[in-house]
């Protein structure tokens, strides 16, 4: 039966897609992209570097008076050569995953969806937003992009973009669905995660030896497939943003040192204006490349604007940190920033993933400043990071001959002002990769 419906959806324009693409690039990747555009588009050409004397008004202070007219200045950023560090030419895991996506037999829009999924992963490699939000950006419903999610989940490393730990383990067992391991994860996950092995053994009528072997195999699976997406300690970093404090105000600089200054060729622009001297094919070629050139320049400017705005809001949301108490972070989510700036959550995610800021206290990834909240028994809302730091401090200072149990840790945290449940202590201890009391005992 045919059914006619009227729907209203917002489609992404080519300019918006380009803006999203450039925003997710770090400085070195953006430089590479621009150099490639120079080769492909004759309309684009490098611009002469401006002398320092011409850059007297290249910064705006973080105060109430400066924000309204910040974008009227041509210098929202100031390149600083001393902040450029040598970066390895080897591809990181994120670039390798994008290469795998490009090798898949997917349509252009499907590859864009796959990249959107990748850029919405959390630090452990799990999908950080609902899939229907990604689908909506491409005028699709969730069912229409599920097959793309499935392909992403089976890239290398497997199980990226899983919704939860259970799905993460099941994806890694997809090629062995008849195994005991797969059955345990699919049917008895709650018993497995809580180590109720006797219950699994009775229900499945399997021997302790078989169950022990299955549990051993499951322990070899990767519960955090996205850890490789983080920058390693040995990888050099080019900060995308630089912060300096002057006159008790934070000065934000978007570090574009690696980005070649670009402009539209005056010669080709003159040719385009003199249309009567060219045939139709030449006119079309010039106009298409002129439009693409303007889109690229606009997307780069939009990238600077977004990074600047996001950094501004991070400073506003984390006053304690930027006052010098770097161990103190206020609970903050991507949505908190997106609501104030008026942009999509995925745009904030692109602007913060893989982007670094140089501060007087060190270099930090923008993602570092986002932390979930934890509500204590007395209703006080604090940062999960604060609780974890307090927990780590207690464990670091304990007597290793008599390490504290999770119950003891709960009491110690309570005395420090953090009233949380024992199961929460266990969860945070596991997330900190700290073993239980028995394994922490000094031999």
CATH code at 138?
Answer: 1.10.10.1330
CA distance readout (Å), 151 to 8, 142, 207, 396? 29, 15, 36, 42
* Pairwise CA distance, residues 429 & 406, whole Å: 9
162-194 confidence digits (pLDDT tens): 989 999 999 999 988 999 999 999 999 988 888
What pLDDT, on a 0 to 100 scale, did the predictor assign at position 443? 52
> What residue numbers bound the domain in which 329 lies?
14-85+236-366
Domain check: are 80 and 107 in the same one?
A: no
Report if residue 2 sits inside a domain: no
Domain check: are 351 and 421 in the same one?
A: no
Give the residue from 332, 366, 400 where a domain finishes. 366
Query: 433 φ, ψ to 5°?
Result: 60, 35
Average pLDDT over residues 56-76: 36
Q: What is the CATH number of the domain that holds 405?
A: 1.10.10.60
Domain check: are 316 and 273 in the same one?
A: yes
Report if residue 400 sits inside a domain: yes
| pLDDT-above-70 percentage for the chain | 78
Give the residue from 227, 262, 289 where a domain finishes. 227
Domain check: are 81 and 195 in the same one?
A: no
Domain check: are 426 and 332 in the same one?
A: no
Report if residue 311 sits inside a domain: yes
pLDDT at position 320 over 80 = yes
290-304 confidence digits (pLDDT tens): 888 888 888 888 888
Cβ contacts of 325-328, under 8 Å, gap ≥ 24 = 326/361, 326/362, 327/386, 327/389, 328/383, 328/386
Nearest to 93 by CA among 257, 222, 254, 242: 222
Q: Which two tokens stand for residue 248?
A: 């008790």
What pLDDT, on a 0 to 100 scale, did the predictor assign at position 138? 83
* Pairwise CA distance, residues 144 & 115, whole Å: 16
The structural domain count of the chain equals 4
Burial class (CB in 10 A: 0-12, 13-18, 19+), 273: exposed
Min mean pLDDT across 51-65, 122-136, 170-184, 201-215 is at 51-65
Report if residue 71 sits inside a domain: yes
What pLDDT, on a 0 to 100 scale, did the predictor assign at position 184? 92
Report if residue 7 sits inside a domain: no
Domain check: are 277 and 359 in the same one?
A: yes
Report if residue 123 sits inside a domain: yes
Report if residue 9 sits inside a domain: no
Give the residue from 314, 333, 366 where a domain finishes. 366
Element holding 383 (H helix, E strand): strand 381-383
Domain check: are 339 and 294 in the same one?
A: yes
Report if residue 166 sits inside a domain: yes
Element holding 305 (H helix, E strand): helix 280-317
Min mean pLDDT across 40-44, 72-76, 211-215 is at 72-76
Domain check: are 160 and 109 in the same one?
A: yes
37: pLDDT confidence band, cut at 50, 70 and 90?
A: confident
DSSP-H helix ranges across 318-405? 319-322, 334-341, 345-352, 384-396
């Amino acid at each position: 039966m045919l059914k006619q419906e009227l729907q209203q959806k917002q489609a992404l324009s080519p300019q918006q897609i380009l803006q999203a693409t450039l925003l997710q690039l770090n400085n070195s990747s953006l430089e590479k992209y621009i150099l490639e555009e120079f080769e492909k588009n004759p309309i684009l050409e490098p611009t002469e570097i401006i002398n320092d004397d011409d850059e007297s008004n290249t910064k705006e202070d973080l105060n109430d008076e400066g924000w309204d007219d910040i974008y009227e200045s041509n210098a929202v950023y100031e390149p600083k050569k001393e902040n450029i560090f040598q970066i390895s030419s080897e591809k990181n895991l994120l670039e390798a995953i994008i290469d795998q996506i490009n090798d898949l037999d997917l349509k252009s829009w499907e590859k864009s969806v796959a990249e959107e999924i990748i850029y919405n992963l959390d630090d452990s490699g799990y999908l950080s937003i609902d899939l229907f939000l990604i689908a909506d950006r491409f005028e699709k419903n969730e069912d229409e992009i599920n097959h793309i999610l499935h392909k992403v989940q089976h890239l290398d490393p497997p199980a990226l973009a899983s919704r939860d730990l259970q799905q993460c383990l099941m994806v890694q067992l997809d090629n062995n669905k008849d195994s005991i391991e797969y059955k345990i994860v699919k049917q008895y996950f709650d018993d497995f995660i809580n180590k109720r092995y006797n219950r699994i053994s009775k229900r499945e009528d399997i021997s302790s030896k078989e169950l022990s072997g299955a549990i051993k195999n499951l322990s070899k699976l990767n519960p955090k497939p996205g850890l490789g997406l983080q920058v390693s300690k040995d990888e050099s970093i080019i900060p995308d943003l630089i912060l300096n404090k002057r006159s008790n105000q934070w000065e934000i600089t978007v570090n574009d040192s690696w980005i070649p200054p670009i402009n539209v060729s005056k010669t080709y622009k003159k040719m385009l204006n003199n249309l009567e001297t060219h045939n139709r094919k030449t006119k079309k070629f010039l106009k298409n490349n002129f439009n693409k050139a303007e889109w690229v320049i606009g997307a780069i400017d939009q990238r600077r604007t977004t990074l600047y705005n996001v950094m501004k809001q991070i400073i506003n949301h984390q006053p304690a940190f930027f006052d010098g108490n770097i161990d103190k972070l206020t609970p903050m989510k991507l949505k908190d920033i997106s609501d104030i700036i008026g942009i999509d959550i995925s745009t904030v995610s692109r602007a913060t993933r893989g982007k670094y800021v140089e501060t007087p206290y060190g270099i930090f990834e923008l993602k570092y400043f986002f932390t979930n909240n934890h509500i204590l028994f007395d209703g006080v809302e604090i940062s999960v990071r604060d609780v974890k730091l307090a927990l780590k401090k207690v464990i670091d200072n304990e007597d290793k001959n008599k390490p504290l149990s999770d119950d003891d840790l709960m009491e110690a945290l309570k005395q420090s002002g953090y009233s949380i449940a024992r199961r929460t202590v266990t969860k945070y201890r596991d997330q900190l990769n700290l073993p239980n009391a028995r394994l922490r005992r000094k031999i």
